[in-house]
């Protein structure tokens, strides 16, 4: 059954037809919840995680023993207030924190799926997660919220299930991956598959991991999460525990040391094949294409109230791409608010302590909850 200990898991017993044509059955969906579901089940928020996130949104992640990835935003009295709302977050299918993914055993071969795992899409990911609503007996969510790839899931969810949420908050995201987005993801995939240990995805049979390639992929992605200005202010040309350049290839500069560290800690918690599959799902995402090029039509059936948030220094999913979502919503007279938050912290702003963002998110949710 591939169910991890200490991880809540729903076994989805309804067949799910994937965009690739394959159908999956009886697959595990790992999730976590925070807060309490109220009596009329009207206070539930489905949070969607980003590329390397997981279901452990806040508090201590029991697997990594580190703080949850959205601890700044989710907790008692925080933007997504666990005293008030019931928060659900599922690990995406294709992932590596308990949900059905390429590291799971293929019953046909008794080996990990590896690259025999079906290529999944953002559409497949949200179609898997909607099963959690039935599981909890929730007819309509109060909100769907997510940043980056989580924001893509917000858009896809509202499009697929227009009546299943009262509000929707896509943050720092896009309705369609740009050529530059695809380029950076492809770079990461090439780094992983270039690793000698990747062995065409069958590394787990060899008891090894393509750690060097995965670290390079993470380093590449990490650069895109930070702004040029933010990097300059934080690191500039500061040296790493030395008075002068050493004329070698060790990490002379703090930024080098920082990137190496980011790469090395990532490989301890993330599966290389999951990285391939999830980046592929992101690259395939093109919501307008699902509606013959008209993004507005993705939202024409919903009455949900939207709040779109972007960050000034985000060059991965710049404000303009977030505004394109707002424009599509405005074109059909949808209920939509938009704010661009001033921040030097780049795309990562949504994960960090950015007070203007955190209060805007809190205000929107708490005001909408009263309505």
Residues near a second copy (CB under 8 A) are: 19-21, 115, 118-119, 176-180, 182-184, 186-187, 189-191, 193-196, 212-213, 215-216, 219-220, 223, 228, 231-232, 234-237, 245, 247-249, 251-253, 255-256, 259-260, 263, 276, 280, 283-284, 286, 289, 315, 318
Active-site residue, selected from the candidate residues 195, 344, 347, 349: 347
The two three-digit tokens of residue 257, written as one number: 């040391």
> What DSSP designation does 289 have?
G
The two three-digit tokens of residue 320, written as one number: 């303009």
Indicate the residue among 9 and 273 with the shorter CB distance to a second copy.
Answer: 273
Decide if 347 is catalytic.
yes
Give least dist CB 186 to a second copy, A.
5
Handedness of CA 79, 368, 144, 346 (dihedral sign): negative
Indicate the residue among 2 and 115 with the shorter CB distance to a second copy.
Answer: 115
Q: Which residues contact 250 (CB under 8 A, 6 or more apart)?
A: none
The kind and range of the H/E element at 135 are helix 131-136
Active-site residue, selected from the candidate residues 71, 148, 227, 274: 148
Give least dist CB 2 to a second copy, A.
22
Give least dist CB 20 to a second copy, A.
4
Indicate the residue among 84 and 280 with the shorter CB distance to a second copy.
Answer: 280
Decide if 148 is catalytic.
yes
Using left for φ > 0, alpha for ψ between -120 and 50, and beta otherwise, residue 331 falls in alpha
Sheet holding 27-34, edge to edge: 8-12, 27-34, 86-90, 44-48, 141-147, 165-171, 305-311, 335-341
Indicate the residue among 38 and 190 with the shorter CB distance to a second copy.
Answer: 190
Decide if 99 is catalytic.
no
Give least dist CB 208 to a second copy, A.
12
Indicate the residue among 82 and 156 with the shorter CB distance to a second copy.
Answer: 156
Q: Is there a contact between 316 and 225 (Cβ–Cβ < 8 Å)?
A: yes
Polymer length of the chain: 371
C-alpha 132/C-alpha 90 separation (Å) is 8
Give least dist CB 201 to a second copy, A.
9
Indicate the residue among 104 and 177 with the shorter CB distance to a second copy.
Answer: 177
Give least dist CB 245 to a second copy, A.
6
Using left for φ > 0, alpha for ψ between -120 and 50, and beta otherwise, residue 241 falls in left
CA distance to 6, 80, 223, 235, per residue, from 240 (Å): 39, 38, 18, 10
As annotated, the active-site residues are 148, 314, 347
């Amino acid at each position: 059954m591939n169910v991890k200990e200490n991880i809540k898991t729903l076994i989805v017993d309804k067949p799910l037809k994937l965009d690739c044509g394959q159908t999956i059955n009886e697959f595990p969906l790992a999730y976590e919840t925070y807060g309490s579901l109220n009596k009329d089940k009207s206070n539930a928020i489905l949070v969607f995680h980003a590329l390397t996130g997981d279901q452990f949104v806040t508090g201590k992640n029991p697997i990594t023993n580190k703080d949850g990835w959205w601890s700044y935003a989710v907790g008692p009295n925080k933007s997504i207030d666990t005293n008030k709302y019931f928060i659900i977050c599922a690990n995406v299918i294709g992932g590596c924190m308990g949900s059905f993914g390429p590291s799971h055993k293929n019953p046909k071969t008794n080996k990990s799926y590896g690259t025999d795992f079906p290529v999944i899409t953002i559409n497949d990911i949200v179609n898997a997660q909607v099963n959690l609503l039935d599981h909890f007996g929730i007819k309509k969510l109060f909100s769907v919220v997510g940043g980056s790839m989580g924001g893509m899931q917000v858009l896809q969810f509202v499009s697929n299930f227009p009546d299943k949420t009262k509000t929707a908050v896509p943050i720092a995201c896009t309705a369609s991956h740009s050529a530059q987005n695809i380029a950076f993801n492809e770079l990461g995939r090439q780094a992983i598959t270039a690793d000698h240990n990747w062995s065409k995805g069958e590394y787990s049979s060899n008891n090894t991991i393509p750690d060097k390639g995965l670290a390079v992929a993470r380093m590449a992605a990490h650069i895109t999460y930070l702004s040029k200005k933010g990097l300059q202010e934080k690191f500039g040309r500061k040296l790493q525990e030395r008075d002068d350049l050493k004329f070698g290839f060790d990490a002379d500069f703090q930024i080098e040391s920082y990137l190496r560290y980011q790469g090395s800690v990532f490989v301890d918690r993330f599966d290389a094949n999951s990285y391939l599959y999830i980046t592929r799902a992101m690259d395939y995402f093109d919501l307008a294409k699902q509606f013959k090029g008209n993004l507005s039509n993705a939202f024409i059936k919903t009455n949900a109230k939207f709040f779109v948030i972007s960050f000034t220094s985000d060059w991965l999913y710049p404000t303009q791409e977030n505004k394109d979502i707002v424009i599509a919503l405005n074109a059909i007279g949808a209920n939509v608010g938009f704010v661009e938050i001033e921040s030097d912290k780049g795309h990562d702003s949504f994960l960090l302590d950015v007070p203007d963002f955190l209060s805007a998110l809190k205000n929107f949710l708490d005001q909408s909850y009263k309505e």
